[in-house]
Amino acid sequence: MAIVRAIICVHLISVAVSVRVLPLHPYLNGQEKLISNIFDTSKYGIFQLRNGLAKTPQMGWNSWNFFACDIDEKIIKETADAIVSTGLAKLGYAYVNIDDCWSELVRDSKGLLVPEAKSFPSGIKSLADYMHSKGLKLGIYSDAGAFTCQVRPGSLFHEPEDAKLFASWGVDYLKYDNCFNLGIDPEKRYPPMRDALNATGRTIFYSLCEWGVHDPALWAGKVGHSWRTTDDINDSWASMTTIADINDKWAPYAGPGGWNDPDMLEVGNGGMTYQEYRAHFSIWALMKAPLIIGCDVRNITSETLELLSNEEVIAVNQDPLGVQGRRVYSYGPDGCYQVWAGPLSGQRLAVVLWNRCSKTATITAKWTALGLESSISVSIKDLWKHEYVSKDTVASFSTRIDGHACEMYIFTPSTMSRSAI
């Protein structure tokens, strides 16, 4: 959020990766080790909470990217209506999350948070009831500090009463920010809210927004369901690509129960081209990032709705195997020709060929780099054209891609290549 953040200590570490062999392609005649080297998942699942949530990355909408502090209950209700009427709800976009600025500037005489009277006169419980009546879920925002980023009361040292209040309102999701943190380590500030939420008896999704300052991928799996790995995104190509690269290095720490969060989607907010937004959505889906819409859904364009509604791309994000896809290799000018990939259930691979240069180029995915034998025959489905581009490709696949654009595919090795046959 656009505010001077208190006492930030940036600490970079190197990620030690140990390999665990995954039986993703049991018929590939010993190629499992190659695949496991590329798509290491040895870190995930070590500390994950097991309360039934976050089996796949969360999907929904958040108010901040478009509205910032200009929110009220009318906007939230109209957004919920639009999520349902556009069909987004049926695709899995279930959480409607209110970000900062929903509360009064001070607590009441009992020390409780109070919804801002002029913006939310009916209260938060009324909104939660409205969401639930439409089959949606309501999210709220607070901060693991003395104040929120927009200087409303924070929840630091108020965790039990705030969690109890959220639960009494019927809240389903908490985004927990990192402003005005008094210099206390996040490893100490975030667990008390976890414990307070659990104590309410209500199942609430816990989203840590620590900005990646203290490398939360290393510790947040035992605390919450997702954790921000980066600073805030903004609606630009430079911001989106930088954040994708930062999030990529934490891939081994994500999986069912807890996810790396490179921040919300900017798709539809106007700062990027259609092709750039398509790349944004494709890479977020491949990385198993939370798919949290950040545009004004009430006035969504047909182009934006088409991007956000691609069921095949969403299915990659929600695949039950839950392995975060990552950059496999890059080449060309400044490494801007990139191949990203990740394993899926059903012995498949999701592959994104991404041209981060400004001019059209041919980008090639090589089987050996993906952990496949060169002789394996692969069927290839284009997830944006919704058609097969090949059913018997071997060794490699190449295609021309416009600048700042990508193509996304499902690679399915042919059963005819099984060594046992």
| Residues labelled as active-site residues | 177, 232
Q: Which residues contact 110 (CB under 8 A, 6 or more apart)?
A: none
- Judge contact between 342 and 286, C-beta under 8 A: yes
CA dihedral 78, 317, 322, 97 (to 10 degrees): -20
> Bridge partners of 352?
340, 408
What is the spatial distance between Cα 395 and Cα 277, in angstroms, rounded to a whole number?
A: 30
- Tell me the residue ranges of DSSP E strands in 144-258: 173-177, 205-208, 226-228
Q: Are strands 348-355 and 405-413 parallel, antiparallel or unpaired?
A: antiparallel
Question: Hunting for tokens 């977020």 — which residue is that?
Answer: 284
CA dihedral 209, 253, 335, 37 (to 10 degrees): 180
What is the spatial distance between Cα 421 and Cα 413, in angstroms, rounded to a whole number?
A: 14
| CA torsion through residues 174, 177, 181, 183, sign | positive
What is the spatial distance between Cα 380 and Cα 372, in angstroms, rounded to a whole number?
A: 14
Cα first-last separation, the chain: 57
* CB-count exposure of residue 160 (10 Å: 0-12, 13-18, 19+): middle
CB atoms within 10 A of CB 168: 13
Task: Return the structure tokens found at 342.
Answer: 């990740």
The single-letter DSSP state of residue 268 is: T
Q: Angle at the Cα of 249 (from 187 to 288), degrees rounded to 5?
A: 85
Question: Hunting for tokens 């939310």 — which residue is that?
Answer: 120
- Judge contact between 76 and 290, C-beta under 8 A: no
Give, in order, the Cα–Cα distances in Å from 35 to each of 31, 40, 172: 6, 8, 37
